[in-house]
Structures are given as C-alpha cells and as structure tokens.
Amino acid sequence: MIIRGEVVVEGEAEGVALVSEEPISFLGGIDPETGEVVEKGHQLEGESVGDKVLVFPHGKGSTVGSYVLYQLARNGKAPVAIINRSAEPIVAVGAIIAEIPMLHRFEMDPTELIGNGEVVKISGENVIVEK
Amino acid sequence: MYLGEKQEKMLSGDRGGAVKKSMEILVGLGDIFGAERLIPIGSAHVSGISMRTSGEAGLNFIEEMVDRGGRVSVPTTINPAGIDLENWRDMGAPKGMSEKQIRMVNAYKELGAEPTCSCVPYLTGNKPSFGEHISWSESSAIVYGNSVLGARTNREGAPSALASAITGLTPEYGYHLKENRRGDIEVIPDTDLFGDGGTFPFSVLGYWIGEQFPESVPVVRNVNPTPPQHKALGAGMAASGAVALYHIPGVTPEVKKDPKVGETGEEIFFGVEEHEQVVDRLDQTSDYDLICVGCPHASVDELRSLSKRTGDREIWACIPRRLRDKLEGTEVFSNLRKSKVKLVCDTCMVVAPLSEMGYDSIAVNSTKAAHYAPSLAGVKVHLASLEEMME
C-alpha cells in the first residue's frame, strides 16, 4: 500500500511502525535519554520510540517538547521518521531541528491505515506500507 | 512560500549553520500554516530558559546554535531562569542544576540576547509599538503584546522565537494578519467582582475565559484594567487556554481604532459562581510555607502595595533584576526591606526548583502560578487574593 502526504522534513527512512491514536507530549511524556514513553496511562506507555516510524495524530503540551526530539536524536533514541495526521509547531520544529524525516496531511488518517509493527518506508511524499 | 534572493541564500547556508537551521524552522512552520512569505520583526522574546523546563536538551541545542555561529539580529529578551543568578546559593538551589542554568544564560548572552530573565519584556525595555510585528514566546507576554500594546505575534514556541531572533524574520500567518484579529466571543463580567482594585479577580476571569474558549479572541466588556490587572487577565487566559489576544472596547488600542473588531454577536456572563468555581478547582491547600507574588513578574505598582504589609510569613516578590536595580535606594525599596519582602530576581515560583529547596506548599494570587507550580515546581498551592493572604 502506498499513501501520499505532504512533506514537513524531507528524507528517506525505513522502520517498524509504532502507532498511537492519542496525541503525544514530548516534554514529560518521553524520556529523552532512553526514548521510552513515560506518560502515565498513555497508550504507548513503556514502548520505545527509538528507531521506529512513529505514527500519531499530532503533538501536545509544552513547546519545549521540540528540544526533547533534538535530545533523542543526539542520544540515538529518536524515531527514524514521524508521520502525523496534521502537524503542529511542537513536533514539526522538533523534527526540523533533529533532522527526522516527517510527513503529514494524507488523504486518509495514517493512524488508521498503518498498523502497529508493520514495516514502513518513507520516500519523498510517499509512505510505503508492507502489509 | 515565496522567498527573496537573500532569504534563499540564508536557507542554503550562505550565512552559516545557525541561520540555516533557523530558516528551516521558519520556512517549515510557514509551509504548515500556509504563510505566503516571511516578514521582518522588530523584536524577539524567547522562553524555555529555565533548566526546569528546557533541561539538558534545550541547553545542548542553544550551545550548538552558539557553536554554529548564531547571533541575534533584532533586540531579543529572554524568559526567567530556574534560579536567582546572584543569590542561588543563599536560596538553597541545587548546585548541579544552577551551574547548568548559568551556562544556559551565558549561551544566550553569546547569541547577543539581553539576559533580562523575565516574563514581562515590555517592562524591561522590549516594548513594541502599535502594529509592529514581533516574534515572542512566553504565553502571558504574547497576550500583553497583542492586546495591550497592539503589536502582532503568534504564540511562538521557544525554538521558533529563537529562529526569528537570529534571522529577524517570521512567517506571515495567524495573528500577523488583521483578518484573524477580530473578536469572536463577548464576555460580560459582573463588575462587583472588581471592586478592590487588585489583580486577583482579573486573573480568575482570564483563567475562566481560557478554559471556556481556549482558541478564541475574547472581547471583555465593562472593565478598565490597570496595567497590572491587564497582565493578570492575559496570563490567566494563556495558562488555561491558547488565547493570544483579547479586546476591551474603549480601552485596548485595536478596538479603539476600529470598534468593529469588538463586535461578535455572542455574549456570555461571568459572575460570582464562575469565579468561585475556578478558585475552588485550583486551590489545593490552606496551609503554606511561603507567599509568592509576581506571576507574571511584578511591576513597581504591585511592589508598592506589598511594601505596606505587616506580618512575618516568608514572602517572595518575583521581579526582573532590572527593576530591582532601578529601585535600589528608593523609599519603596527600603519599605520592602522593612516589611521583609524578599526580592527574587531572574526566576519565579513556577520555574524554580521549590520542592528541592525544601518548600512543600506556597500561596499565590495568580491563576497561572496555581496552574503550573504543582507540576513544574513540585509544590501544593493555596490560591487567594493578596489581601486574603496578608490577613
């Protein structure tokens, strides 16, 4: 399956999808040292975002969350790519400064189209999902 | 988005790594929000200074911007740090965090920012004029700049405000455009609530508006706030909601110039019941170790009312260091000293490590402080008016 979105940060990437239907707060929600989701009660609590294609609707919380993405990248614990339903400034700026390929605004909701654990490849504005 | 020749060069790295990274942030945001171009700004104000909020991640990013040759190109002020930069040892702030905090402020100095360490840039020399485009983060300053001064800024985050400081540019969308600055909901407060001249009822009203209409441009009727009351009103709105701008017919500059900006057609009432609901929800304890005022940072007028206080509970007034320096040697200053009011500079009760400094609970007269202090500073909060706390 190939779905097409708009590019926020250009790049090629491939990885296993980690999908959340809930928004993610990077400040306080993800440990910048380990990449683990630490927000209590979050759907992805206990999972690691490192080396995953992270699929979620959009970010939430403090704008300082952008720095957390940057720190994850420095620690080698960042997602290899980010796929959002609709980008907002926290995650978009974080992906830009951390140089993580990022896409958003697909014809259909990517959090429904992409299944957890599926292998996803990002190329330009295309997302190729191996079903 | 259209970029001029000079801007294309900035984006491609001709003017160094910091400018390139900054342009990538601004162009990325502009594309997401449908901006057609980048416009010049008059000033920047950058948040995310405290190690309590930005942490190692923020420090590393800012130091890397310094290493990449970053330098601000417009007047730039910065938000409060996590410690009083001169008195942190006496105040019991943790050493490791304090040393990193000093590194953070020094990195901003190297970028050419003014180390104001205050959330009220408009009281420390960064006061934009009517209609001026600016790029500010710090939600309470954004509302004040847009509403009371009539300047134009979006709700920038720390990295985008820094990117604007370095390039002198911001993408033109949202509150930079006149058509997005019209009011869309009218709030009619019960004016009996505002009898005593203090900031507290305005802080509560603001918080309620932000909760009820988080994405709105509210129009508030029947009030004529003093500058400290404006500050409290806007800070409340921006703490509970994403409000960036309000109008008060006959009072704030934009609606004075064009009354149509304040016509919305939808009215909603704010009375004693709404006021009490907000206070009950935020007030966690009646017991407290410390009184903290100055969220946002206090002005001279607010300090004057404190200088007459009696009683000997520990009390902090959080203010910009520049204000303290200006006050030294004046009558207000000596009265504050007599009244045992501690002037805490460069930081505040929200971003200082209060729990690590041995405090369990604080009393505040700011809904913004009550909203953030439990999670950020790690303390319980008693919310009340200044008069009530002094009793």
Percent of chain B exceeding pLDDT 70 equals: 100
Q: How confident is the model at residue B53, as a pLDDT?
A: 86
Any B CB within 8 A of A32 CB? yes
Percent of chain B exceeding pLDDT 90 equals: 90
Q: Where are the domains of chain A?
A: 2-121
Band the pLDDT of A64: cuts 50, 70, 90.
confident
Band the pLDDT of B312: cuts 50, 70, 90.
confident
Residue in B183, B115, B200 with CA at minimum distance from that of residue B146: B183
Is A63 in Cβ contact with B55 (below 8 Å)? no
Count of all residues that appear for chain A in the document: 131
Q: How confident is the model at residue B305, as a pLDDT?
A: 86
pLDDT of B24 over the 80 cut? yes
Contacts of B61 in chain A (CB under 8 A): 67, 70-71, 97
Cα(B58)–Cα(A32) distance, rounded to whole angstroms? 11
Is A20 among the residues known to form the active site? no
Chains A and B form CB pairs within 8 A to the count of 74
The fold of the B5-178 domain, in CATH, is Aconitase; domain 3 (3.30.499)
Contacts of B57 in chain A (CB under 8 A): 32, 67-68, 70-71
Dihedral-angle region of residue B240 (phi above 0 means left; psi in -120 to 50 means alpha; beta otherwise): alpha
Cα(B89)–Cα(B354) distance, rounded to whole angstroms? 14
Is B137 in Cβ contact with A97 (below 8 Å)? no
Cα(B217)–Cα(B178) distance, rounded to whole angstroms? 12
Alpha-carbon gap: B56 to the closest alpha carbon of chain A (Å): 8
DSSP label at A15? E
Residue in B127, B147, B294 with CA at minimum distance from that of residue B206: B147
pLDDT of B307 over the 90 cut? no
Q: Which of A62, A66, A86, A123 is catalytic?
A: A62
Cα(A127)–Cα(B38) distance, rounded to whole angstroms? 30
Q: How confident is the model at residue B139, as a pLDDT?
A: 94
Residue type, B39: I
Report the SS3 class of residue A56. Answer: strand
pLDDT digits (tens, 9 = 90+) for B236-245: 999 998 999 9
Structure tokens at A11: 């790049």
Helix intervals (H) in B33-92: 51-67
> If residue A7 lies in a helix (H) or strand (E), which one and from where to where?
strand A6-9
Cα(A30)–Cα(B331) distance, rounded to whole angstroms? 50
Q: What is the DSSP string of B176-216?
A: GSGGG-S--EEEEE-GGGGTT--SHHHHHHHHHHHHH-TT-
Q: How confident is the model at residue B63, as a pLDDT?
A: 97
Residue B287 class from Cβ within 10 Å (0-12 exposed, 13-18 middle, 19+ buried)? exposed
Cα(B247)–Cα(B224) distance, rounded to whole angstroms? 11
* CATH 3.90.1570.10 holds for A2-121: no
Any B CB within 8 A of A97 CB? yes
Cis peptide, bond prior to residue A110, ω within 30 of zero = no
Any A CB within 8 A of B21 CB? yes
pLDDT digits (tens, 9 = 90+) for B54-107: 889 899 999 999 999 999 999 999 999 999 999 999 999 999 999 999 999 999
Contacts of A64 in chain B (CB under 8 A): 47-48, 53-55, 58, 157-158
Report the SS3 class of residue A60. Answer: strand
Dihedral-angle region of residue B252 (phi above 0 means left; psi in -120 to 50 means alpha; beta otherwise): beta
Structure tokens at B132: 């001026």
Band the pLDDT of B4: cuts 50, 70, 90.
very high
pLDDT of B310 over the 80 cut? no
Chain B residue at shortest CA distance from A104: B32
- CATH topology of B5-178 equal to that of B182-280? no
pLDDT digits (tens, 9 = 90+) for B331-354: 999 999 999 999 999 999 999 999
b/e per residue A56-91 (b: at least 16 CB within 10 A): bbebbbbbbbbbbbbbbbbbebbbbbbbbbebbbbb
pLDDT of B375 over the 90 cut? no
Q: What is the DSSP string of B119-144?
A: S-GGGTT--PPTT-B-EE-SHHHHHH
> If residue B85 lies in a helix (H) or strand (E), which one and from where to where?
none
Between the CA of residue B378 and those of A16, B373, B384, what are the distances in Å? 37, 6, 19
Alpha-carbon gap: B17 to the closest alpha carbon of chain A (Å): 12
Helix intervals (H) in chain B: 5-12, 17-32, 51-67, 95-111, 139-147, 158-167, 200-212, 227-240, 253-257, 272-282, 300-306, 321-327, 331-338, 367-376, 386-390
Count of all residues that appear for chain B in the document: 391
Q: Where are the domains of chain B?
A: 5-178, 182-280, 283-390
DSSP label at B152? B
Q: What ipTM was predicted for this assembly?
A: 0.87
The class level of CATH for B182-280 reads alpha beta
Is A90 in Cβ contact with B21 (below 8 Å)? no
Chain B residue at shortest CA distance from A9: B28
Q: Please, what sign has the CA dihedral across residues B253, B159, A67, B180?
A: positive
More confident residue, A40 or B365: B365
Between the CA of residue B328 and those of A116, B85, B323, B334, what are the distances in Å? 62, 18, 9, 8
Q: Which CATH architecture has domain B283-390?
A: 2-Layer Sandwich (3.30)
Look-up: residue for tokens 């942190």? B88
Neighbours of A107 (CB within 10 A): 9
